Amino acid sequence: MRRLASIVGATVILLVSAAPALACGGLIGPNGAVNLLRTTTFAGYHDGVEHYVTSFEFAGGEGEFGSIVPLPGVPTDVARGGDWTLQRLLLETAAAEDFGFRALAAGELDDESAEVLLETKIDALEITILRGGGDEVGLWAAEHGFRLPPDAPEVLEFYAARSPIFMAARFDAEEARRRGQQVGDGTPVHLTIPTDNPWVPLRILGLGKSAAETVQADVFLVTDEEPALLPDPGGLLGVRGMTLAHSAIASEQLLDDLRSDKGMEWVPRSGWLTAINIDAAAPDLRFDLAIDASGHGRPSVEAAGLAPFIPPTEMPSGSSLWVPLAALAVALPLASVVLVVLAARGRKGGRPLAGA
């Protein structure tokens, strides 16, 4: 039986230069008129297939805006998500129509930049699935009107080294208005992604943010078993900026409700619900969230972005290298704490712990 895991993707705002330039190099719109509200995302992973649901909301303004989301694999389907999945998850932890879908032939290139794998439109959202390195995806985005912030080159490469698959979404605010969408309305998107390596992109949430800004997000995981996470917000030391808001067996009522939403038939009969709140200073968010729901308790150091990427063919004896690295990542801070405690006891003239 294949193990179940979950992954939640994260979304980042990248403005699209539809408005006239107002400063050297161009600005997006008067006073950054188009704003994206907080984005909530959820996905489940069942029988080797990840179901990823995210919603795009806007706060008005003119023109277009968009986002780029790194993905752990190539989606086989992109559809409008159900209408209440995300709201139901928020409720639980508060303590789709078909559309034109076009799969491009493999190898079809766009302007010598990233490879365009899929193109589709969901309401006022134009979705493009890309494959390419950081430079290729960045170039594609620039050529298609995305105004990438200055940290984009480094962040895109950070992700492309592990998974060269990205989703670019352009949200046409004027089209949304024509469709009768109001400020605060969201458009849910559901991606189906076969993958053996689920992870949650967190670092990209800080893209384009200054050192003084914070990142706030809600991350929901549903797994068959209680997952092991890296970094682990529920661990002894915790993780600055991450809070484990919920971790318990998912209620039958929740799973039934989720399963009744559009495209959510895959939701298992039993599972574990994890909710994580992100409220971090942008510079602190330099990692992703690795998940191991297999019961082995070995979330990937590589998937967490805490180790440099090494192609599988170059890794000695499979992934065994990462096991001691993960242990080291946990053990070193613990050892530091122990040493600090011992030193403090020593300064206070406390009784020796042993011997002497």
Q: Which two tokens stand for residue 9?
A: 């993707």
Shortest Å distance, C-beta 343 to another protein: 37
Considering beta carbons, is residue 136 or 218 the nearer one to another protein?
A: 136
Question: Exposed e or buried b for every residue in 110-120, given b needs 16+ CB within 10 A?
Answer: beebbbbbbbb
Considering beta carbons, is residue 47 or 154 the nearer one to another protein?
A: 154
The per-residue DSSP string of 149-191 comes to: -TTHHHHHHHHHTT--EEEEEEEEHHHHHHTTPPTT-EEEEEE
Q: Which two tokens stand for residue 19?
A: 């408005």
Residues constituting the chain: 356
* Secondary structure tally for the chain: helices H, strands E: 6, 17
What span, in angstroms and rounded, lies between the C-alpha atoms of 9 and 138?
19
Considering beta carbons, is residue 210 or 253 the nearer one to another protein?
A: 210
Residues contacting residue 213 through CB under 8 Å, at least 6 positions apart: 206, 281, 282
DSSP state of 203: G
Parallel, antiparallel, or unpaired: how do β-strands 101-103 and 77-80 relate? unpaired
Shortest Å distance, C-beta 279 to another protein: 23
Shortest Å distance, C-beta 132 to another protein: 10
Shortest Å distance, C-beta 75 to another protein: 23
Residues that bind another protein (CB under 8 A): 21-27, 113, 134-139, 141-142, 147-154, 156, 208, 210
Considering beta carbons, is residue 69 or 137 the nearer one to another protein?
A: 137
Shortest Å distance, C-beta 215 to another protein: 16
Considering beta carbons, is residue 29 or 81 the nearer one to another protein?
A: 29
Shortest Å distance, C-beta 149 to another protein: 6
Strand pairing partners for 326? none
Considering beta carbons, is residue 151 or 185 the nearer one to another protein?
A: 151
